[in-house]
Amino acid sequence: MARIRFGTDGWRALIAEDFTFENVRVCAQGAANYLNATGLATRGFVVGYDTRFGSQKFAEAVAEVMAANGIATFLSDRAAPTPVISHSLVSISAGAGAVITASHNPAAYNGFKFKPDYGGSASSEIVAQLERHIGGVEESGAVRRMDIREAERRGLVEYIDPETDYLNHVAQLVDLDAIRNSGLDIVVDSMHGAGAGYFDKLISGGSARVLEIHGEVNPSFPGMAQPEPTAANLQGLIDAIEDNTADIGLATDGDADRLGVVDDDGQFVTTTETFSLLCMHLLEGLGQSGPLVKSVTMSGMIDKLGERHGVDVIETPVGFKHLGPQMMAVDALAAGEESGGYAFRGNIPERDGILSGLLMLDMVIKSGENPADLRASLFESVGAHVYLRWDVEFDPAQRDGIERRAATSRPFEIGGRPVIAVDDRDGVKFLLEGGYWALVRFSGTEPLLRIYAEGPSTADTAAMLGDARALVGV
């Protein structure tokens, strides 16, 4: 049995290889032991799941373990986005919850996201405790289980509708009437994931029109490498925008906690541009104020926006297990990471692709500018920033050498730009003159070396990536 280890957000593994019913039950028993040890078990446990192969059955397996441990369990009655389940957890005041999802990973994967009582990603401290309990179960093999029907009969498992309460909640955070009556033509790509139908339910009833593609359940995610809303996976969305002369395209990943945006010209709006635009909307369009939290892989544009508006910008390692707790600690206005996950004050301290998309529509309406022009306005405000990322496969036997070379490299310049500082909190980040940067770090969810850079032009950024890759010898 493979040892269950949590990455940047939960445990993920190949279905039928490591992600088996046996291991899922081990994970659930460890979570139950954690709840009992911390006194949270009396508040109950919420279980949700996405549209991946076997997700519903895996979720039922989690509920069976929780019920056998005497923990009242609230099981979603349908596949639902992670932020929707997280919101339900907070509404119910449950002690914790879990979502069976591998988020944006390829179809062969599934996963177990643990959610503490605040509804966000589990902090590093919570993950450490949880892994200790799971490890104890792996060693002892002591897993309790009660048949799901018996658990229902005893009242230990209750089915919940997580959708309605979430829709009502989001309606308080965004001016939905303005969006409904905007006349916008919106194309939504749900990527065969759990976010299907949400934008239509929220926006329908006025002059705005929503065309949804890939809204049907298909666990093989055909036509895309994985359900991740990146440019490489969104050709269908780009084609639909062009075919329908739509005003904007929105895409959510497998569990709808991430957002991808395509503008009215059919151009992908990078995740760093999207979060910068959303922060600009909150600060300028809506007149809000408060600290901004970003990961080490997020754009330097956030720092420039913070300086311009007199708000603090706090940088954390990658993952909402860092961003969420920091967001709560400082009552941040927003938090964002390069992967396309953004969170906002008034909602759970967790990524929410649906709310992010609604705020993007709100910005288009209130600014009176189309998405392509909004990007130009952003660059006029903070200067051009071009972000690129290379994902590099590597021989696991070479990992120590790659880490050593990254840690000891102290170049004078990268991509022709002087290196002014080095940050090694999460990987190795080279801070460059002009607020630009390059970063080398290992993925926390996939066996990949990620190389990131942000420069003033595509050519500059590509040169920075090349230099960074050469430094670590891959």
Tens-binned pLDDT, residue by residue, of the chain (474 aa): 457 888 778 899 999 999 999 999 999 999 999 999 999 999 999 999 999 999 999 999 999 999 999 999 999 999 999 999 999 999 999 999 999 999 999 999 999 999 999 999 999 999 999 999 999 999 999 999 999 999 999 999 999 999 999 999 999 999 999 999 999 999 999 999 999 999 999 999 999 999 999 999 999 999 999 999 999 999 999 999 999 999 999 999 999 999 999 999 999 999 999 999 999 999 999 999 999 999 999 999 999 999 999 999 999 998 899 999 999 999 999 999 998 999 999 999 999 999 999 999 999 999 999 999 999 999 999 999 999 999 998 888 888 898 888 888 889 999 999 999 999 989 999 999 989 999 999 887 677 899 999 999 999 999 999 999 999 888
Please identify, in words, the CATH class of the domain defined by 171-382: alpha beta
**Long-range contact set of residues 368-373: C-beta below 8 Å, sequence gap at least 24:** 370/247, 370/248, 370/263, 370/264, 371/247, 371/248, 371/261, 371/263, 371/264, 371/269, 372/263, 372/264, 372/265, 372/267
d(CA 98, CA 46): 6
pLDDT of residue 63: 98
Q: How many CB atoms lie within 10 A of CB 383?
A: 14
Task: Judge contact between 181 and 206, C-beta under 8 A.
Answer: yes
Provide the CB-side half-sphere exposure for 340 (13 A, CA): 26
pTM of the model: 0.94
| Size of the chain, expressed as the number of residues it contains | 474
Q: Which residues contact 141 (CB under 8 A, 6 or more apart)?
A: none
11-165 belongs to CATH 1.10.101.10: no
CATH 3.40.120.10 in the chain is located at 11-165, 171-382
To the question of domain 386-472 being in CATH 3.30.310.50, the answer is: yes
Q: What's the pLDDT score for residue 1?
A: 46
Residues of the chain with CATH 3.30.310.50: 386-472
